[in-house]
Amino acid sequence: MSQVINADLIINLHENCILHWKKKGIHLSHQEFYQLVEENHCFNYQLWHAEDKARREDKGFEFVYHAKREIDHFNQQRNNRMEMMDGWLFQQLAPASYEQCPVHSETPGMMIDRLSILALKAFHMAIQVERENVDTTHRERCKEKLAIIVQQQQQLGQCLDELLAEVVAKTRTFRVYHQFKMYNDPQLNPELYSKV
């Protein structure tokens, strides 16, 4: 495998991308496996903001409708990148077959996707901790939540590193779980294929 894959690098990538994108807009710059990590994170980043927009009932039905369409698009792309990360790792690591050792129920790609979401939660919760137009109780509550998010991020990162080490040692394996999202497919969504 030409690249070192570990949770610390992934967590740093997530945090640095958010800071960069907030200042200068989205620009993707990583290669190989980390390109997939960055793309997944980019779709989560856009999904986060589309979810926020979808809550703006004061903007009217059409605004919320377009936000919902963005959510569907970004969510599909996010899931595609999860599968691509798993496919890349499966090819590079050549894990043991599921007859030889236990299969991990969550794939590395799923864990990396969760780390991406935790990075977004940490960033936005940190903003709440610093807000000046709220009371101290709000800031303190958010500070407690931020500490929990950071702890979850660290624990999940450790779990990812342990899983990858076990896969390399052939003591645990994983499968590429295909999401087969049906709601976006006009051949599979009954609301779309049964239109008159």
pLDDT by 10s per residue, the chain, length 196: 567 899 999 999 999 999 999 999 999 999 999 999 999 999 999 999 999 999 998 999 999 999 999 999 999 999 999 999 999 999 999 999 999 999 999 999 999 999 999 999 999 999 999 999 999 999 999 999 999 999 999 999 999 999 999 999 999 999 998 877 777 777 777 877 787 5
* Residue 186 pLDDT: 77
* Residue 1 pLDDT: 56
Dihedral, 135, 139, 142, 146 alpha carbons, nearest 10? 170
Domains: count for the chain: 1
For residue 126, the enclosing domain spans 7-190
Residue 183 counted as domain residue: yes
Residue 56 counted as domain residue: yes
Residue 17 counted as domain residue: yes
CA gap 51, 68 in Å, rounded: 8
111, two tokens: 């864990």
Burial category of 36 from C-beta neighbours within 10 Å (exposed 0-12, middle 13-18, buried 19 and up) = buried
Predicted TM-score of the model (pTM): 0.92
Residue 195 counted as domain residue: no
> Comparing C-alpha atoms, which of 76, 63, 96, 87 is closest to residue 189?
76
Residue 196 counted as domain residue: no
CA gap 5, 13 in Å, rounded: 12
* Residue 195 pLDDT: 72
CA gap 172, 103 in Å, rounded: 6
Residue 73 counted as domain residue: yes
> Comparing C-alpha atoms, which of 31, 40, 37 is closest to residue 7?
37
Residue 135 counted as domain residue: yes
CA gap 174, 136 in Å, rounded: 45
Do residues 142 and 129 make contact, with C-beta atoms less than 8 angstroms apart? Answer: yes
